[in-house]
Structure 1
Amino acid sequence: MTDKPLSDRIVVVTGASRGIGYTLARAIAAAGAHVVAVARTVGGLEELDDEIRAAGGVATLVPLDLTDGPGVDRLGGVLYERFGRVDGLIGNAGILGPTSPLGHIAPKDWDKVMAVNVTANWRLIRSLDPLLRAAPAGRAVFVTSSAARRIRAYWGPYAVSKAALEALVVTWARETETTPLKVNLINPGRLRTKMRAAAMPGEDPETLDTPDVLVPAVLAMLAPALAESGRVWDHPTGDWLA
């Protein structure tokens, strides 16, 4: 493998202004890709851009709320006009939502979790599918959670949204299985992020790995050599889930 395994590739990263998305965007740029960094927070995007440029990389910043469906639709058109293709997509943006009994959840809170964690990713797929198919080895990776499979009380909106995301992504993988495009998910496990701190306020963050531990797996999932599609890479076990 060369020092720049993603040279000359265009990779879109959502939720790129902090946490896992920020870390992955920085690493993907360091691997040689032109990163299209998408997030709501302009300040976080600008900090990311400063880091990427200081390391000799290149990024395009896209301040965008992914619940803005028409904005997501326009993203595909803009990227087509500029690049003609997209080689990779990291669907990372997500929210935790309320952790409480199902009967106590306000409809607006339920709708927000589904809008960000599910519908926004469907809109991304709809917008970027032609561009990823236009690439010689398009790759898409979405961030899921063990909550999608290990169901427990009080995590309803988040668990349901991640289960729906997995169904969405595997459906897309089945629909593209005769093409070069490979579509997968990654379960990061317990990492030191703001979302984890909100979900587990009594947990010592110093006992957790930082998001950097995901970088080797994600770079491998973006590589043209990847053969898997419609699978979940489980970082805690270091293997594909059955």
Structure 2
Amino acid sequence: MGKLLEDRIALVTGASRGIGRAAALALSAEGAHIVALARPRSQGALEELDDEIRAAGGAATLVPVDLTDGAAIDQLGAALYERWGRIDILLGNAGMLGPLSPVGHVSPKDWDKVFQTNVTANYRLIRSMDPLLRQSGSGRAIFVTSGAAHKAKPYWAPYAASKAALEELVRTYAAEMQATPVKTALVDPGPMRTAMRKKAVPGENADTLPPPESIGPLFVELAGDAVWSDTLETGTIIRFADWQPLKAD
């Protein structure tokens, strides 16, 4: 029996650690070739990911690029098209927390940096990868959001507002893709044992939170076909806490 994602090409951002790394390993285990993107300073962590993927019999292409470098993202799209003529899975995971402070105390520089990373970079990804996703018979565009986008929690304005903007960006793209095979989803992981969560809630007992590895199977499902032939609509926001894995036939 073949693997669920055999021969599919998956671009994963923020792949050097946390949720991105877990997703890359899960997608690879099901046969996808992983194009792993992370900041250049994460080169060592990317190489460790590559070693683990190859040790398990998978394959990866490492892309140490700053996601906010729009020209580099455009060049990546051209390079992927030249090599494969398509991508099948785009997983926009990379993001940043930014400052936790009153709105009036957030500097314009910090505000712009959060939006550049959480919103504009994902727009540039969609812009560059849309033609490649359209060349796939089963294109998937999956992005990581946060429940903070809906809570109006004090001191979280840059992160919450950027995630709310990301959701509208992705849902609009989903609406535009209705007449194509490209399916789009947003995933809200909820509290998870990641470095970002530790920074946001430093006094929390991390042992009470699920590890990033636990969410890997959800990304595999969304990258596949079965879940879309059921009742899932493109543009849906899936809360990990509510997710029920599909039962095997």
Shared fold per TM-score greater than 0.5: yes
Q: Give, in angstroms, the shift of residue 134 of structure 1.
A: 0.4
Number of residue pairs aligned between Structure 1 and Structure 2 = 238
Pick from 217, 221, 239: which aligns with 1:234?
A: 239
Separation in 2, partners of 1:141, 1:175: 15
Q: Say which SS state the counterpart of residue 173 (structure 1) adopts.
A: helix
Shift of 1:225: 3.0
**2:26–2:217: 8 Å Cα contact kept in structure 1?**
no
Gaps of at least 5 residues in structure 1 are none
> 1:19-34 counterparts in 2 under 5 A?
19-34=18-33
Say if 2:11 and 2:87, in contact at 8 Å, map to a contact too. Answer: yes
2:187 is paired with a residue whose SS is strand
Alignment partner, residue 143 of structure 2: 142
Match of 1:15 in 2: 14
Deviation at 1:39, TM superposition (A): 0.4
Q: Look up the equivalent residue of 2:235 and give its one-letter code.
A: G
Counterpart for residue 102 of structure 2? 101
Alignment partners' CA distance in 1, 2:218 and 2:241: 11
What is the SS of the residue equivalent to 1:203?
A: coil
Q: SS at 1:60's partner residue?
A: strand
Spell out, residue by residue over 1:151-205, the C-alpha distance to the aligned partner (whole angstroms, 9 max, x if none). Answer: 2110000000000000000000000100000011000011100000000000011
Alignment match, 1:69: 70
TM-superposed deviation, 1:238: 2.0
SS at match of 2:226: coil
CA contact (8 A) 2:35 2:63 kept: yes
Measure the CA separation in 2 of the matches of 1:235 and 1:3: 27
Paired residue type of 2:25: R
Structure 2, unmatched stretches of 5+, are 245-249
Instruction: Return the TM-score normalized by structure 2.
Output: 0.94
State the secondary structure of the residue aligned to 1:114: helix
Alpha-carbon offset, residue 3 of structure 1: 5.8
Structure 2 Cα separation of the partners of residues 3 and 207 of structure 1: 36
Three-state SS of the structure 2 residue aligned to 1:236 is helix
Q: Which amino acid aligns with 2:225?
A: P
In 2, Cα distance between equivalents of 1:69 and 1:85: 19
Give 1:22 shift.
0.6
**For residues 43-91 of structure 1, what are the alpha-carbon distances to aligned partners after superposition, in whole Å with 9 as ceiling and x for unaligned?**
1100100000011100000011011010011111000000000000110
Distance 1:21 1:130 in 2: 23
**What CA distance in whole angstroms lies between the structure 2 residues aligned with 1:212 and 1:67?**
26
**Could you tell me which residue of structure 2 aligns to residue 172 of structure 1?**
173
Contact 2:16 2:45 in 1 (8 A): yes
Deviation of residue 237 (structure 1)? 1.9
User: Which letter maps to 1:176?
Assistant: M
Partner of 1:189: 190
Distance in structure 2 (CA, Å) of the matches to 1:82 and 1:238: 35
Runs of 4+ in 1 over 3 A off after TM superposition: none
CA distance in 1, matches of 2:26, 2:126: 23
